[in-house]
Homo-oligomer: A and B are copies of this chain.
């Protein structure tokens, strides 16, 4: 580190070329410019739009974002176009310009002006690949029909909104993040929505199956028709060439509009053709400085793979938050400030029909596949004090390694504030903390915000009770399977009679003894059968388990997450 560096005068790379102008590219440019006033910075973008809020598209379709331009403007209302980048950032932006070839020997990028067809070479000292991702196009006949859309680019959102006029029934293919946001958007436009998902749950890879099942039940209650484990074979059209039906391996769905949202894949053609290393995930391989196998070429955002901080594996999880964080890192490295990107946790959050959904770290099955000796809990709570207006429910799942008690992952879902809890869990994961750490952090409490023991810490405590062997639980999934198999269980519901009468599991194995009568009426509970205690959220059932065990019962469990975790409608 020489004298210039110490004086805050960073080494100016004279020519920086950035391929890709959507999210991470402009972020790199802005950061690099602030560090290097004299560098010559050029962004090349194939499309018409740059630096836009891709994540905002569903909310434009929903009508929550009224003005499309808002997605292309700064918070203070200035449009983020070529002129903006030139005037404010001192960055040259070439839109409708495609990078064709990287000549690593000559250190230049051959580009084509898509308007004029002109080809020319842009020399670089450092090159940045922010080429993003492309939607996966499933091999289904009929994708060319009118009314069939994707939801990846601003043009897609505009086309969908134009096309929604008169549409009453839509089919969304794919129940991932984008598919779920599309559900939310179309329901807000009063369109009847069916979702076809080839996997047997909603949000595969995001939520574990038992939370996904609860979400599915809630979506169906709100009129969303789910076709899970169902494969789309083809799309059919009417005489005008407009889509009219989706044919699956199980039937035919009417549709006036179809959104195909089956995921994205990294855009790596340019990198591959240039001989840069592509990782096992299919995305560009980068080191922790976000350099590709050519040290003069950086890559970031949706086109690269990242290290998963828990597993240590390379993963492909394209997210705008990662792209933005990486932008700062690449900008620093371009300016000669060594800066590392440690990795990701796969934190993802979304809002669907009033449900807040959040996840971080490993899912249960991922964790098992990686060889962890996994313990989990599903815990139900309110997000804040029950007497303070507006509180709502939360289901939180935690996943830990039994041996080390290390937290491996967390998921939260409900009308309540799920994201806050997952952000805390993500922070614990970042530091490699245990479930005991999660339970011990001094989190903020006041009735409008939380309970004295916060929801995520309540979940941690329940899991600690399980780990110590004190709490014995059964998941809703397992209980349902055992009930369906006709097992001879006692389902002891310990809620108040009024609560019970409002909603219960209709089954002859269910008996009601409210918790406040249990000590007195304990002999009514059979001693010779396995007892599963039920309540609304699990708290009373846990108490009842300990009361029964205190009275000598030896085969007692309680339903984790209570009836809030029950994946079916209750009677």
Contact = CB atoms under 8 A, between A and B. Distances in A.
Nearest to A496: B76
Interface residues of A, number: 107
A35 interface: yes
Quickly give the copy total for this chain: 2
A351 B53 contact: no
A285 interface: no
A450 interface: yes
B427 A444 contact: no
A37 interface: yes
Interface stretch (A101-109, A112-120, A315-323): A315-323
B426 A442 contact: yes
Contact of A449 (B419, B444, B550): B419
B449 A351 contact: yes
Contacts of A260: none
Contacts of A461: 328
Nearest first, the 9 A-B pairs at minimum CB distance are: A37-B550, A349-B444, A321-B445, A75-B386, A427-B427, A345-B442, A324-B452, A70-B387, A420-B420
Max chain B C-beta neighbours (<10 A), residue from A34, A56, A468: A34
Contacts of A437: 430-431
A258 to B, nearest CB: 24
A443 B321 contact: yes
Nearest to A433: B431
A342 interface: yes
Contacts of A485: none
Interface string A444-480: 1111111011100100010000001110000000000
B440 A430 contact: yes
A533 to B, nearest CB: 13
Interface in A348-372: 348-351, 356, 358, 360
B442 A346 contact: yes
Interface in A495-552: 495-496, 499, 515-520, 536-537, 540, 542-543, 546-547, 549-551
Contact of A389 (B37, B64, B344, B382): B64
Interface string A11-53: 0000000000001000000100111011000000000000001
Contacts of A346: 442
Contact of A551 (B37, B323, B351, B356): B37
A317 B454 CA distance: 18
Given A8-B468, A59-B388, A319-B445, 8 more contacts: A30-B543, A37-B551, A78-B516, A322-B442, A345-B441, A426-B444, A430-B441, A431-B431
Contacts of A347: 442-445
Interface string A46-83: 00000001011001000011000011000111100000
A262 interface: no
Contact of A387 (B23, B53, B449): B53
A264 interface: no
A65 B447 CA distance: 11
Given A452-B320, A516-B87, A387 B551 contact: no
11 contacts: A78-B496, A87-B516, A88-B516, A321-B454, A325-B457, A345-B442, A346-B442, A347-B445, A356-B449, A427-B443, A430-B440
Given A65-B388, A76-B496, A515-B88, A323 B56 contact: no
A195 interface: no
